[in-house]
Structure 1
Amino acid sequence: MASRAGSTGIDASLYRREGQWCTALVDVSLGTTSAQEAVDSLPGQVGKLLGSQQASDADIEALTAALVSAEGHASPVARFVAVNNGEVVVDEIIDGLKVEFADVDCGPFPNLVALARARGGQFPYLVAEAGKDGGEVSLYHSSVKGADESRGVTGDPDEAHHARKVPGQYDEPKNQSNTEEIWRRNADELAKQIDELARENYVRLIVLAGDVKAREMVAGMLAVAHKPITSILDQHTRTGGADQAAFAAAVQERVDEVLGRDVQELSERVANRSGSGRPELALGFDEVVAALQQAQAATVLVNQYQDDETLTALNAEPWLCGEDSGDHAESVMGSWPAPEVLLRATALTDASIRYVPDGVLPEGTGIAALLRWPNASESAS
């Protein structure tokens, strides 16, 4: 995929690309004959919808070619595809999302709302499994199944266990020292791979499992900045009898803990900024729009999706305005449902967006924004 919409923000470069955009959100679940038939009919069905919206032949061909089933994924599962100028720019599987009818959209900027809702709040994390003869480390994203990238460290098993193979010699200090030096080298190499992946991807969690001694060595060799985000599982996963289901459940528990802390932190930040005239918090649709127009919003928090509102998208700052506004007439691109325009403005002002559960925002508030700087009039009062 080209980008992910998550708690760290939306990839603004997608909105800066010129030309027509076409997006499709479709059900690609398998499991029954009728489901397979439905997936097989998607290219024709979506192609007709794209044609009715004046999509180019290149866009239709590229998008429909990407509409393949999601084998190996439990139902329900959806596929989101975004095409720009005949190029597939985003192609993502969204597990757990039930799509009743194909949602197809064409316009001058991509409609990424469905992807943002599914991916909002996600974060990258690493799972490392250490052994005395090496190990593996894989990069994951919290709302995406499957590893995004994996790296391995493979030592020489015969070399590592040579002292054990010579009867009566393993206890000799020289042989034992040589063997432990091999283990240390393998651990050091695995720690370097973990640190590199963690730095490159700004991971927020490292889960470390494997052989007891090996994982202890790896943990001790990690960069200082990564030790606080490392969680060690007391599981030796690099054995034939390892319970992989229990391991996956334990990893998911650590991921859920991070997600839970995120929501709790957002709730506390909203509560802390709600008093004394709340100069650092925008509450409600109009205030959030005003904050985005000034690039003042740091994090937009959405509890209700504002589907009944419409906004005007602009091709230059401030990127959006009310549908009835007479301002910025020279920059008007057109009017769209508010969630699409809000998401675009959030990205283009380098803000982040979170779709939050009930209880984070004050009762009766569907949308809010944590501000980069306080409102002058309220902070002065």
Structure 2
Amino acid sequence: MASRAGSTGIDASLYRREGQWCTALVDVSLGTTAAQEAVDALPGVVGKLLASQQASEADIAALAEALVPAQGHASPVARFVAVNNGEVVLDELIDGLKVEAADVDCGPFPNLVALARARGGQFPYLVAEASKDGGEVRLYHSSVQGVGESRGVTGDPEEAHHARKVPGRYDEPKNRSNTEEIWRRNADELAKQIDELARENYVRLIVLAGDIKARELVASKLGSAHKPITSILEQHTRTGGADQAAFAAAVQGQVDEVLGRDVEELSKRVANRTGNDRPDLALGFDEVVAALQQAQADTVLVGQYQDDETLMALDADPWLCGEDSEEHSESVIGSWPAPEVLLRATALTDATIRYVPEGVLPEGVGIAALLRWPNAAEPAT
């Protein structure tokens, strides 16, 4: 499966694949008889819509097979599926998104806007729970339900607690030293697992909980690059009576803090560049299109959806142009709604796209871009 849309946008390799694409965004919520009946009917409904857009039989069959209900997910939940040449390339559940009617699209490149909006700004993070006889570390993504990867460290409980079984022996310096050495060894192994997962997945947050002594040991052994992004929760979660709901809420609070800081930072970056002299900020639709054409846009910020605009998609650099442009006519592959073409150009120029809340962009501005290099100064008159 191709990589998900994240804070850096959609995987550009998706747009480089040849052949026809078919995408579908559908509601797969359960919970009522009517909802179950609606999900059961999806393959037929979507199949007819695909056929009306001249989708191939292979694409219709592959996409219809992927339209299964979201067992274990709270309503509402949507499923986004993208098929290329009869192969399911993306199959994602989007929690919290209510889809009123199936949204189906076929064309020479995938329409990934719905997925990008749902996933934009997501980041990977780790949750580690430590105990004296081992621990576990799990990889998550901030807007994806479920564990991405899990690793555990299991020490020998008998070895670790042997001295406690002999009355009066644990207090002896030798036995106490041996037991503490076992705890340190387990903590060292768990810290190595955390560092490895964090490094491989570019995580932005590590949440550490568990036995107080064990989590202190683990925290002290983490690599210097990961200590600043580690948050310690004062919860011993590896016990039978642990409140898992409270723990999950505390972890989500840490995730929300990171997301909030992201939006605040973007808002500050825009505010610092807004004014008469803003050589490294593009404001408005036309300026953003021009910046993308030059691969100058570093981060595209979308406050309003730009649904009322259309753009021409090109099969080579600069990847897009305006409807009235007479340039690049040999590269034009067609005209589409601006959100689709903008997202494609953003990915193909290795830029970031973020769908931001109200207040980040100046009043009356629906789209902007932070630039990789400043615009040339206007010549003096």
Do the aligned partners of 1:277 and 1:378 also contact (CA within 8 Å) in 2?
no
Matching residue of 1:85? 85
- Unpaired runs of 5+ residues, structure 2, are none
Matching residue of 2:304? 304
Matching residue of 2:249? 249
Q: Tell me the distance in 2 between the aligned counterparts of 1:20 and 1:133.
A: 53
Aligned partner of residue 225 in structure 1, secondary structure: coil
Do the aligned partners of 1:23 and 1:82 also contact (CA within 8 Å) in 2?
yes
Q: Residue 380 of structure 1: CA displacement?
A: 8.1
What pairs with 1:33-44 in structure 2 (closer than 5 Å)? 33-44=33-44
Counterpart of 2:267, as a letter, is S
Q: Tell me the distance in 2 between the aligned counterparts of 1:98 and 1:288.
A: 30
Deviation beyond 3 Å, 4+ runs, structure 1:
378-381
In structure 2, the CA distance between the partners of 1:36 and 1:166, relative to structure 1 (3 Å rule), is: same
1:324 pairs with 2:357: no
Q: Tell me the distance in 2 between the aligned counterparts of 1:3 and 1:378.
A: 41
Aligned partner of residue 224 in structure 1, secondary structure: coil
Q: Tell me the distance in 2 between the aligned counterparts of 1:296 and 1:327.
A: 19
Aligned partner of residue 287 in structure 2, secondary structure: helix
Do the aligned partners of 2:9 and 2:116 also contact (CA within 8 Å) in 1?
no
Q: Tell me the distance in 2 between the aligned counterparts of 1:378 and 1:28.
A: 53
Matching residue of 1:11? 11
Do the aligned partners of 1:134 and 1:190 also contact (CA within 8 Å) in 2?
yes
Matching residue of 1:365? 365
Matching residue of 1:267? 267
Counterpart of 1:270, as a letter, is V
- Deviation string 1:191-221 (CA, Å, 9 cap, x unpaired) is 0110011001100000000000000000000
In structure 2, the CA distance between the partners of 1:270 and 1:132, relative to structure 1 (3 Å rule), is: same
- Deviation string 1:224-270 (CA, Å, 9 cap, x unpaired) is 00000000000000000000010001001100100010000000000
Matching residue of 1:202? 202
Q: Tell me the distance in 1 between the aligned counterparts of 2:102 and 2:56.
A: 19
Matching residue of 2:28? 28
Counterpart of 2:35, as a letter, is A
Q: Tell me the distance in 1 between the aligned counterparts of 2:33 and 2:2.
A: 32
- Deviation string 1:104-143 (CA, Å, 9 cap, x unpaired) is 0011111000001111111110000001111110111111
Cα root mean square deviation, aligned: 1.1
Q: Residue 377 of structure 1: CA displacement?
A: 2.9
- Deviation string 1:346-380 (CA, Å, 9 cap, x unpaired) is 00000000000000000000000000001103498
Q: Tell me the distance in 1 between the aligned counterparts of 2:276 and 2:151.
A: 51
Q: Tell me the distance in 2 between the aligned counterparts of 1:378 and 1:230.
A: 46
What pairs with 1:1-381 in structure 2 (closer than 5 Å)? 1-378=1-378
In terms of mean alpha carbon deviation, does 53-62 or 208-217 score higher?
A: 53-62
Aligned partner of residue 15 in structure 2, secondary structure: helix
- Unpaired runs of 5+ residues, structure 1, are none
Q: Residue 55 of structure 1: CA displacement?
A: 1.0
In terms of mean alpha carbon deviation, does 301-310 or 276-285 score higher?
A: 276-285
Aligned partner of residue 162 in structure 1, secondary structure: helix
Q: Tell me the distance in 1 between the aligned counterparts of 2:63 and 2:157.
A: 48
Aligned partner of residue 376 in structure 1, secondary structure: coil
Do the aligned partners of 1:293 and 1:318 also contact (CA within 8 Å) in 2?
yes
Counterpart of 2:168, as a letter, is G
In structure 2, the CA distance between the partners of 1:201 and 1:380, relative to structure 1 (3 Å rule), is: farther
Counterpart of 1:109, as a letter, is F
Q: Tell me the distance in 1 between the aligned counterparts of 2:222 and 2:380.
A: 47
